[in-house]
Chains A and B, each alone.
Chain A
Amino acid sequence: DQQVKQNSPSLSVQEGRISILNCDYTNSMFDYFLWYKKYPAEGPTFLISISSIKDKNEDGRFTVFLNKSAKHLSLHIVPSQPGDSAVYFCAASSNAGGTSYGKLTFGQGTILTVHP
């Protein structure tokens, strides 16, 4: 079941530069998308989300872009900091009709390493 895919297992970026993490989905019923950050031995930490009625949402250094026609979203981190080094998960849910109760489908994750 590959409804949410993160095709890049890892990304390496220099401190101060932009990190761009990508995510593709196949289920057209998904209408809410989230990015989580995860450190080893910890639970996923919510970063930012976007509803399908928007194409961009910004929160500080983090911006999520949604391209519904391409079924693609991306997370931009500007400027990247060494503390951003973690695994980043894309997740999606389908809330239309009120039947999903918030079930999240996750991608495989991308390991981001930000070098000083």
Chain B
Amino acid sequence: EPEVTQTPSHQVTQMGQEVILRCVPISNHLYFYWYRQILGQKVEFLVSFYNNEISEKSEIFDDQFSVERPDGSNFTLKIRSTKLEDSAMYFCASSEAGYDEAFFGQGTRLTVV
């Protein structure tokens, strides 16, 4: 069964460092998303990406964040200068048509120290 895969599963980084979280969405999907879940809190929307551009972003997704689809398979989330409060589980998701169900990866646990 097709699935969304994320790497790495766990990333530890020092405050102020840049991190790149990687995702391979399901191959025939056209809509891509990043969500995050801070420990004990809700899953929160960060950004959606369609047709090689950001289609919607949340207030959380400030200038420190960027997304890219560098080739036909990968979808990345970059955090330029990490803060302690960026520590969370980051989930990548994809959907075929945008108005249907999104399928999530297993997540990357980001720990900023």
Contacts and interface: CB of A to CB of B under 8 A. Distances in A.
Given A46-B103, A95-B98, A102 B33 contact: yes
B102 A102 contact: yes
Interface stretch (A16-24, A65-73, A103-111): A103-111
A25 to B, nearest CB: 13
Given A42-B107, A43-B4, A44-B91, A104 B102 contact: yes
Interface residues of A, number: 25
Contact of A44 (B6, B31, B95, B104): B104
Contacts, number: 66
Interface string A33-49: 01010000111111001
A54 to B, nearest CB: 14
A106 B91 contact: no
Nearest to A31: B99
Contacts of B56: 100-101, 103
Interface string B102-113: 111111010000
